[in-house]
Structure 1
């Protein structure tokens, strides 16, 4: 029975009572977010008149964090722990048929004042000394109060308190097995019945027990639980006192076959989304079953088959829905940046046991981590026994001590772990090398998952959040610290973003910046996930993240709950079957030895022989021969090359299907082509597509003589690209320089043109540089400027920029009167603006300063200018624009931040693929 309301709350002993939602949080009732309590809740408890002689218990779904329960002023019980359900026996404290006052006095974890390392706000339970999880770092604070339902349970003395169920199934047609253990309020006889997914009775047993009773049940002709067939068995317990409890259980077996995970003997590749339990329309992680069901169904459309519950523990219905829908779950105990005091250590094991017992009932739960990115503050004395506890309570899951690994975060190196787990937030050029670094060949093969990775923040157009005149923008946008205190958040830039955008002239460009960044996010994830799937030593991943938050816009859902990606497009590289590309290897003799010599795989000159190796990662349900067809062509034109590839593709493997080989056709201007591959593998089908750019051989046609100043040694192969390399004093020469020397300054001041390539080692550059990622956390905007020539772009940076992407940007360009940006960077988290290329006035000449790496050579970028086809072509366009006097058309000057080619009205929340689409 539900406790009769309404519920009311107040700061303990002070102020007027106010209505508060239960389930809910006291912040929803207007209590300041940075107040840790105590807060008093009250409601009327109405025991039924026919409950005389029965046991009466109050069951709390969850209370944050520590609470004392009183009935008519008498203490009924206490509880510490914000995530787990608990019961309080009120038999003898209430009289059946007579109302009683229920009072719950609650304190929540005391947050911090200004970031993860700041001082805590007043409170008995500092957040870092509790299992508060990550939500305080998402919106600043923990939620407080009675945030899950409260029920009154009426039963006899022999009633079921808790049930633990685990199911196992052997290979083939062996019988399944269900282990059932129940704790009882009092001794008595218990009957258990098991019904199969079709409702047929398959086993029935009876036991008499005192505090506990256990059953081992056999299931003939078992039907295993899996994401493709989430079959469940109904396990019903009945006591001699008339109590009844039904648990829906699954039969499944998870094993590791080297790096390959197997579920019931079949290959399994977990593809999960990272959830922090953030729901923007409320201040607690209890969104309701309908919302969770809708989210899980949509995630399946995107190709995901699971969710990582990162540092939080959801209501019971979340687990039940995952079981029903066949969604895998990774449970992570909410331990992050802890201060392991005596209170913390005691609570850790107490709460962990409760949480793991609750999770272990569910076949969807396959992985458990004990904490996230733990440092040396938590050692073997804690993680060893905790690992043993979890393995004992959840024998059907794989367990790891530290998600992210001690070797990456300064934690325990002698691990307690059934699988490897790293969190790689990488720029694409460094991703493959990072994987190699953390995967030495001598390690014993075992599953290797990425417990979180592959984020990319998109631009947040704050104008979208002006949802109505009544509600206005969300509270977490406010610059008023009384409304939006920083708390534990390290990222606290949203309140200042509007001012920053207006100052930089970008406020009105929000819709277009949002559209561009959404395209870039899909591109980044496509490249990263395909790189993971081409490796046989990877076993699964968790993409960051589920929805946008006050500290990050890396979600697949925005703040208003709208998808930022097209499900069909996203599922192409996030499914059971994924097609990817790989390339021939090359080497170069450098300084007396061999080195890898990557080349530009996305830009090709006319007549080039292109060899794309087609790779299939197969974790589907049927193996066998794979028949692939490919074609490549320009949009709105017939393909200029086609082919067929046939190969065997066993399940659970990564297989090369063959080479899609073609010659780049003749073009009179740079053109974007698309290679599409469709594959059928024993009835399972998938497809994927990739862009290519075909460049004419005259990228330097308008370029005059070129001089070079290169003390950094970045342009040794310039003469193989530029038609005329001449001394600096040659009339009309355009200078390419890697240092801002006195000679370079004289050349520009006297009326010459120059392109200055700066990096972190450049002395006294015209503009300061700052280290920051190119692809992640930023929107790249191609500004109108004649120097772009006919270099192909749609106003945003696609893979034609991969070979020149830098990890440095230019600052303070706007301080120079007459500065003309070419490529800008708008930070998706702070809205700060930097530049990757800008023309600066200098004397009588023209100077383009850039951090773009025309010579590549970072990570797996092309080695040198001559192998960097797209970059070399662009550099030729810039040199051509600086050759001789150049017009400065009025249309290219002004406050406009987005070029005509991409400017337009606001786009819908689901953004289209680039022009022509990935698959056309």
Structure 2
């Protein structure tokens, strides 16, 4: 019903504008991503909602641009509400909001602080404000640069909301005043901007990996670019690791497009490095930009023989065993421990094997009584989310309303910060110092090297985890209160209780009985950063055992291998025999004494 009402309003507005400005191009807008298609416009604003609205709540950060190009044959198009992201409001800036000559006046910072207090995490306020701005800045830079690479894009209008730029003389999101997190945005926002074809994904690299990037130029400056020089360097904290330059480049005005392909080798080391590019013409700087990457060493793919796996999802179990060739199943270990026997062993007997001390840690994807007993008795469990954890641990997916399908996407599984105006979604991440992280690089939050770890990952309710959970990687959500839930805050009636939040985690540790439980919902097999973090977690659970060189003796004599296994009470000798040139399976004979 309300859709019809909006359409009728749009038709009336369009008619009024036609009467007042018959020679002007007109865009009327109503609805989520633009006007309803039934209302004719000079511009088209396509509805980019995508499947289950994931696009919309992700700030439209993964548009298949080629799918839009045919629309430009019919006339100009406008992407409305593209990249609509914001930051957590700061109580220190409430005075600016109260004086704002705009609809967004109010004590938003105090509202946010009330939400943190009611969730018991008000001490995190400085980190939440800082990290939400870092996250918003990283995403906004990409969302400015991504469309500027596309042919046919002629311009954009950039809005900011919670930064209240009108009170500072200009937009603080453009780093003209106090926000250091947004210092790079003018590099992406100038009349002429250098860009690369690397967005959210692909920021985590393996040392020695060849990297090929397209360097693009969006040029709407005053002069044609001719005989220019493109210089680039790879730097780590001011130290130049690689560099190069390309002379003799030209580029027309009013165009976006590929300027040059470039290649470099991912440098040795661990952690963040930065790619710098600069375009000069006639000895003058035309454009400059930079992008952060992270490098990680090749994975060791080794772990202690005392760590085993007991997964409910056999496919995921195989994936982990493919990464760690020495990883073994708990059930296989128990069977091997008892040997060949016709009698079935009881669960108590099997659990006794686990408590014997030979199994120090178990990787699993489901919390069971058996694992809880193992932890209580002193064992360690690393529990990964595969959708099989207790239901109470999970955040309930956003409920559909009258305009949303049943497949409504869970906005709390997105990397991008919450959308302003809608006031719900994840606002910030906080990474706490903890020995389980080892030397995993971070600056107190999940930067772009963690995108593939977080996108699609569930956040878990800290209070619902077993024992007293100690958060290691936190995520701070926000949602809007309505109806009876809203109203004046009990402890501060002058502040509207408008928002709520909750203590949630991607990674946490609980002490239970004599043992410990580590719970992780990050998607650690998705990129090299995740695999490196996975190895740090396993190293923390049980340090890699040093294998004695005299443990076994292997003798190779052309086509015969004798394997001797020595134990206190008996000696086994296995002979593997194969005829020269034969491809048959070797014959195995066993002798013992």
Please indicate, yes or no, whether the TM-score normalized by the shorter chain is above 0.5: yes
Matches within 5 A, 1:34-113: none
Question: 1:623 aligns to what?
Answer: 224
Question: 2:575 aligns to what?
Answer: none
Residue 673 of structure 1 deviates from its aligned partner by: 0.8
Match of 2:463 among 800, 813, 821: 813
Q: Does 1:795 align with 2:421?
A: no
Q: List runs of 5+ in structure 2 lacking aligned partners.
A: 165-169, 334-357, 397-409, 419-426, 479-498, 545-593
Q: Does 1:456 align with 2:85?
A: yes
Matches within 5 A, 1:359-508: 375-379=3-7, 383-384=10-11, 386-395=13-22, 397-402=24-29, 408=33, 411-413=36-38, 415-420=40-45, 431-436=60-65, 439=68, 441=70, 444=73, 446-463=75-92, 465=94, 497-502=112-117, 504=119, 506-508=121-123
Asked if structure 1 preserves the Cα contact closer than 8 Å seen for 2:472 and 2:507, the reply is: yes
Matches within 5 A, 1:101-140: none
Structure 2 residue matching 1:446: 3-state secondary structure: coil
Judging by fraction of residues, say which structure has more helix. 2
Q: Residues 634-692 of structure 1, C-alpha deviation per residue, up to 9 Å, x if partnerless?
A: 1131333434365442223222222331112332xx22111001113676711111111
Q: Residues 4-63 of structure 1, C-alpha deviation per residue, up to 9 Å, x if partnerless?
A: xxxxxxxxxxxxxxxxxxxxxxxxxxxxxxxxxxxxxxxxxxxxxxxxxxxxxxxxxxxx
Q: Residues 524-557 of structure 1, C-alpha deviation per residue, up to 9 Å, x if partnerless?
A: 10111111212224443344424447xxxxx954
Looking at structure 2, the residues matched to 641 and 386 of structure 1 have their Cα atoms a distance apart, in angstroms, of: 56
Question: 1:841 aligns to what?
Answer: 511
Asked if structure 2 preserves the Cα contact closer than 8 Å seen for 1:706 and 1:734, the reply is: yes
Structure 1 pair 547–499 and aligned structure 2 pair: CA distance change class (3 A) = closer
Question: 2:343 aligns to what?
Answer: none
Q: Does 1:878 align with 2:564?
A: no
Q: Does 1:850 align with 2:520?
A: yes
Asked if structure 1 preserves the Cα contact closer than 8 Å seen for 2:476 and 2:502, the reply is: yes
TM-score (normalised: structure 1): 0.44
Structure 1 pair 706–806 and aligned structure 2 pair: CA distance change class (3 A) = farther
Residue 573 of structure 1 deviates from its aligned partner by: 0.9
Looking at structure 1, the residues matched to 186 and 40 of structure 2 have their Cα atoms a distance apart, in angstroms, of: 34
Match of 1:676 among 259, 270, 276: 276
Looking at structure 2, the residues matched to 805 and 428 of structure 1 have their Cα atoms a distance apart, in angstroms, of: 15
Q: Does 1:573 align with 2:200?
A: no
Q: List runs of 5+ in structure 1 lacking aligned partners.
A: 1-338, 340-373, 468-472, 477-487, 550-554, 584-597, 856-864, 886-920
Residue 503 of structure 1 deviates from its aligned partner by: 5.2
Structure 1 pair 880–525 and aligned structure 2 pair: CA distance change class (3 A) = same
Looking at structure 2, the residues matched to 798 and 566 of structure 1 have their Cα atoms a distance apart, in angstroms, of: 12
Looking at structure 1, the residues matched to 440 and 431 of structure 2 have their Cα atoms a distance apart, in angstroms, of: 11
Structure 1 pair 851–436 and aligned structure 2 pair: CA distance change class (3 A) = farther
Number of positions where the alignment pairs a residue of Structure 1 with one of Structure 2: 458
Asked if structure 1 preserves the Cα contact closer than 8 Å seen for 2:375 and 2:517, the reply is: yes
Aligned-residue CA RMSD (Å):
4.0
Looking at structure 2, the residues matched to 547 and 830 of structure 1 have their Cα atoms a distance apart, in angstroms, of: 17
Structure 1 pair 566–512 and aligned structure 2 pair: CA distance change class (3 A) = closer
Looking at structure 2, the residues matched to 692 and 423 of structure 1 have their Cα atoms a distance apart, in angstroms, of: 30
Matches within 5 A, 1:705-784: 705-707=307-309, 709=311, 711=313, 713-714=315-316, 716-729=318-331, 730=333, 731-732=358-359, 734-740=361-367, 745=372, 748-749=375-376, 751-758=378-385, 761-762=387-388, 764-765=390-391, 767-770=393-396, 771=410, 772=412, 773-777=414-418, 778-784=427-433
Q: Residues 315-357 of structure 1, C-alpha deviation per residue, up to 9 Å, x if partnerless?
A: xxxxxxxxxxxxxxxxxxxxxxxx9xxxxxxxxxxxxxxxxxx
Asked if structure 1 preserves the Cα contact closer than 8 Å seen for 2:471 and 2:505, the reply is: yes
Residue 796 of structure 1 deviates from its aligned partner by: 1.4
Structure 1 pair 733–723 and aligned structure 2 pair: CA distance change class (3 A) = farther
Q: Residues 205-249 of structure 1, C-alpha deviation per residue, up to 9 Å, x if partnerless?
A: xxxxxxxxxxxxxxxxxxxxxxxxxxxxxxxxxxxxxxxxxxxxx
Q: Does 1:612 align with 2:282?
A: no
TM-score (normalised: structure 2): 0.66
Q: Residues 480-510 of structure 1, C-alpha deviation per residue, up to 9 Å, x if partnerless?
A: xxxxxxxx99x99866544443455543443
Asked if structure 2 preserves the Cα contact closer than 8 Å seen for 1:493 and 1:830, the reply is: no
Asked if structure 2 preserves the Cα contact closer than 8 Å seen for 1:449 and 1:540, the reply is: no
Tell me: higher relative CO, structure 1 or 2? Use CA pairs within 8 A at least 6 residues apart.
2
Structure 1 pair 744–530 and aligned structure 2 pair: CA distance change class (3 A) = farther
Asked if structure 2 preserves the Cα contact closer than 8 Å seen for 1:708 and 1:737, the reply is: yes
Q: Residues 382-404 of structure 1, C-alpha deviation per residue, up to 9 Å, x if partnerless?
A: 54464244234224532123256
